[in-house]
Amino acid sequence: MRIHLVTPIVTEGIRTLDDVAELNRNGLSITQSLITAGPASIECEFDEAMAVPGIVAEAIAAERSGADAVIIDCMGDPGLKAAREVVSIPVLGPSETAMHLAAMLGHRFSIVTVLDSVVPMIDNLAKLYGMAEKLASIRVIDIPVLDLESDPARLTEELARASLAAVESDGAHSIVLGCTGFLGCADAIGSALAAKGYDLPVVDPIPATVCIAQAIVRAGLRHSKRTYARPQPKTLKGYPYIDF
């Protein structure tokens, strides 16, 4: 089984296959691509919108090259619905997947993310996914995406601090990491919470979404074409890289 990860930015080096190497097991192969048109990072609605044509192009390419499922590597789930329309394989968003998983794992969950500017986006996704009443709070660490790798110790510390506040003040029973750039931080946060006496799951969205994508493929399920009907052929100007 092969799952293709579309990292919806144009910045080289932010995410590589090395980061997700440990997911290549149990007969699973992961491939990954950046997009060729789009923003350096995703931190607002404008960034998301600029990434979608590139995401759609990569999803089409992934299906043509035989991938079994596509994951859009961003917690804003940009282009999730459009990509589902143009391919027949499952397309997963880590935000949708992680919210549903967290909803199954405990009473309410909080999302810890980067900046104030993405809070309305994530809050709106929770509404669309029917998860609003499961969402205890959204907290931010106030570090821009492109600075996440500059000080790993501070990143973990800020995530642990925000997660602890979510547990103690907002009633969170699970934590969802609210940026795919937080990859690999879940264990440290879980340990920090455990040290305070709180035993609860911390969902790292990309690994969790890879596992759920595998599950959906194995269960023989696909997205509904009642919801995501294939677009009718018609003129499309300005996107030579979209071969649909």
- Site residues for a copy of itself, 185-224, by CB under 8 A, read 198-201, 203-204, 207-208, 211-212, 214-216, 218-224
Side-chain-facing half-sphere of 201: CA atoms under 13 Å: 16
What beta strand segments (E) does 141-211 contain? 174-177, 202-203
CB of 152 to a copy of itself, least distance (A): 20
Distance CA 18, CA 5 (A): 13
Q: Which is nearer to a copy of itself, 147 or 151 (CB)?
A: 147
Given phi > 0 = left and psi -120 to 50 = alpha, else beta, which region is 116?
alpha
The nearest distance, CB 23 to a copy of itself, in angstroms, is: 9
- φ/ψ bin of 192: left (φ > 0), alpha (ψ from -120 to 50), beta (otherwise): alpha
Per-residue binding string, a copy of itself, 52-71, x by CB under 8 A, is xxx-x---------------
Q: Is 50 in the site for a copy of itself (CB under 8 A)?
A: yes
Contacts of 100 (CB under 8 A, 6+ apart): 129, 131
- Exactly one of 107, 142, 149, 151 binds a copy of itself (CB under 8 A); that residue is 107
Q: Which one of 17, 21, 104, 195 is in contact with a copy of itself (CB under 8 A)?
A: 104
Indicate whether 117 belongs to the interface with a copy of itself (CB under 8 A).
yes
Among 85, 157, 161, 184, binds a copy of itself (CB under 8 A): 85
Residue 234 in the binding site for a copy of itself (CB under 8 A):
yes
Phi, psi of 129, deg, nearest 5? -85, 0
